[in-house]
């Protein structure tokens, strides 16, 4: 405040962004708190998923047990019917034999024996209940984050002061247009980082590296800037020269190569940023 008053009194221009001053330590602490809240939400989601999976498993076991009982009863009914038919066939064969119809008696007796054997096989082949087979079909799954509707396409992004650390950059709205392949504004290819899209800019005329990232699931756009020494910039530019993707690409292999090259650039950056701008985005129009 004293510096601002001095500059105003001296009628010197002073850029201002209207965002509350935040130290890096404060910003990192807030990021950790947000990460803790996100982790707690994920753990709660995992517990809910586990409870649903357990309930689904119990329901599946009960249904499978009922189905198994019905199936076994059907097998037993079939075996009983075959046994009765076999016994009747043997009785008829005996009747043929008393009438000296030996040929008919043999054929009828053979059929009766086959029916009795089929009855025994049917009875033995009754399906047993196997809980392990049911458990294998009800694995615990934690659904991935659900993308907000309209997470891709042309977006208007507004600065979120509570999640940003602004030093010298403008906080005006930013417009981006991103397609499902990570092409931004029709000319810049971003690389996949999990469910997000990221691009690292290493300019020739500045001593600052910018990491741009867009998260479609939360419609969050961020710019993290790192102020580097001349030696660090030289190392970053050398690694940037290895990036072959200069324009948008639909080739997954090219995007994977871009992601690998950008990861190499990340290793040349300090562990802590100097400025971070976080934007909340919504569909344009």
Map tokens 């639909």 to a residue.
Answer: 250
Q: Are 279 and 158 in contact (CB under 8 A)?
A: yes
Please give the pLDDT value at position 265.
93
Cβ neighbours of residue 167 closer than 8 Å, sequence gap 6 or more: 274, 275
pTM, whole model, 2 decimals? 0.57
- The domain limits of the chain are 17-143, 150-283
| 71: number of Cβ within 10 Å | 13
Cα separation, 181 vs 44, whole angstroms: 32
Per-residue tokens: 44: 């709660």
Q: Are 278 and 222 in contact (CB under 8 A)?
A: yes
Please give the pLDDT value at position 26.
72
Instruction: Compute CA 110 distance to the chain's CA centroid, rounded to the nearest angstrom.
Output: 63
Cα separation, 47 vs 83, whole angstroms: 53
Phi, psi (5° rounding) for residue 144? Answer: -70, 160
Beta bridge partners of 91: none
Q: How many residues does the chain have?
A: 285
Please give the pLDDT value at position 1.
47
Please give the pLDDT value at position 3.
46
Q: Are 33 and 162 in contact (CB under 8 A)?
A: no
Cα separation, 27 vs 20, whole angstroms: 11
Q: For the chain of 285 residues, list the mean pLDDT of each consecutive stretch of 10.
A: 51 56 69 75 84 85 87 90 90 84 86 90 85 60 53 92 85 93 93 92 92 93 93 92 90 92 90 91 87
Please give the pLDDT value at position 129.
79
Alpha helices of the chain — where are they, by DSSP H? 2-9, 24-98, 102-124, 131-135, 230-240, 252-266
103 three-class SS: helix
Cα separation, 112 vs 106, whole angstroms: 10
| Helix H or strand E encompassing 200 | strand 196-201
């Amino acid at each position: 405040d004293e510096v601002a008053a001095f500059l105003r009194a001296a009628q010197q221009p002073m850029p201002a962004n209207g965002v509350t001053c935040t130290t890096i330590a404060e910003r990192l602490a807030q990021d950790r708190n947000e990460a803790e809240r996100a982790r707690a939400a994920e753990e709660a989601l995992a517990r809910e998923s586990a409870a649903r999976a357990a309930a689904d498993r119990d329901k599946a076991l009960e249904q499978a047990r009922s189905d198994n009982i019905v199936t076994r009863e059907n097998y037993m009914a079939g075996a009983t019917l075959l046994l009765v038919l076999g016994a009747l066939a043997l009785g008829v064969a005996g009747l043929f034999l008393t009438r000296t119809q030996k040929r008919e008696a043999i054929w009828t007796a053979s059929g009766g024996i086959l029916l009795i054997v089929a009855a025994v096989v049917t009875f033995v082949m009754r399906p047993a209940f196997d809980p392990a087979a049911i458990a294998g079909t009800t694995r615990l799954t934690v659904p991935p984050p659900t993308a907000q509707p309209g997470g891709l396409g042309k977006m208007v992004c507004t600065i979120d002061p509570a999640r940003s650390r602004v030093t010298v950059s403008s906080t005006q709205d930013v417009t981006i247009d991103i397609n499902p392949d990570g092409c931004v504004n029709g000319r810049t290819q971003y690389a996949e980082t999990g469910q997000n899209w990221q691009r690292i800019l290493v300019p020739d005329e500045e001593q600052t590296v910018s990491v741009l990232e867009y998260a479609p699931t939360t419609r969050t756009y961020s710019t993290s800037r790192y102020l580097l020494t001349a030696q660090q910039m030289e190392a970053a530019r050398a690694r940037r020269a290895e990036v072959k993707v200069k324009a948008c690409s639909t080739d997954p292999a090219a995007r994977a190569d871009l992601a690998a090259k950008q990861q190499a650039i990340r290793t040349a950056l300090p562990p802590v940023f100097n400025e971070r701008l976080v934007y909340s985005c919504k569909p344009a129009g």
